[in-house]
Chains A and B, each alone.
Chain A
Amino acid sequence: EIVMTQSPATLSVSPGERATLSCRASQSISSNLAWYQQRPGQAPRLLIYGASTRATGVPARFSGSGSGTEFSLTISSLQSEDFAVYYCQQYSNWPPYTFGQGTKLEIK
Chain B
Amino acid sequence: EVQLLDSGGGFIQPGGSLRLSCAASGFTFSSYAMAWVRQAPGKTLEWVSTISAGGGTTYYADSVKGRFTISRDNSKNTLYLQMSSLRGEDTATYYCAKYHGNTWDLFDYWGQGTLVTVSS
Determine if chain A interacts with chain B.
Answer: yes
A25 on interface, CB distance cutoff 8 Å: no
CB of B111 within 8 A of CB of A89, answer no
Closest to A48 in B: B106
Task: Please measure, in the bound complex, the distance between the C-alpha atom of A98 and the C-alpha atom of B95, giving whole angstroms.
Answer: 15
0 or 1 for each of A68-107: is its CB under 8 Å from B? (1 = yes): 0000000000000000000101010011111111100000
Query: What total of chain B residues lie within 8 Å of the partner, measured CB to CB?
Result: 21
Task: Please measure, in the bound complex, the distance between the C-alpha atom of A34 and the C-alpha atom of B100, giving whole angstroms.
Answer: 11
Closest to B109 in A: A46
24 A–B contact pairs at CB < 8 A?
A34-B106, A43-B111, A43-B113, A44-B45, A44-B107, A46-B106, A46-B109, A56-B108, A87-B45, A89-B106, A91-B104, A91-B106, A94-B47, A95-B47, A95-B50, A95-B59, A95-B61, A96-B61, A97-B47, A99-B45, A99-B46, A99-B47, A101-B44, A102-B44
Identify the B interface with A (CB < 8 A): 44-47, 50, 59-62, 95, 100, 104-113
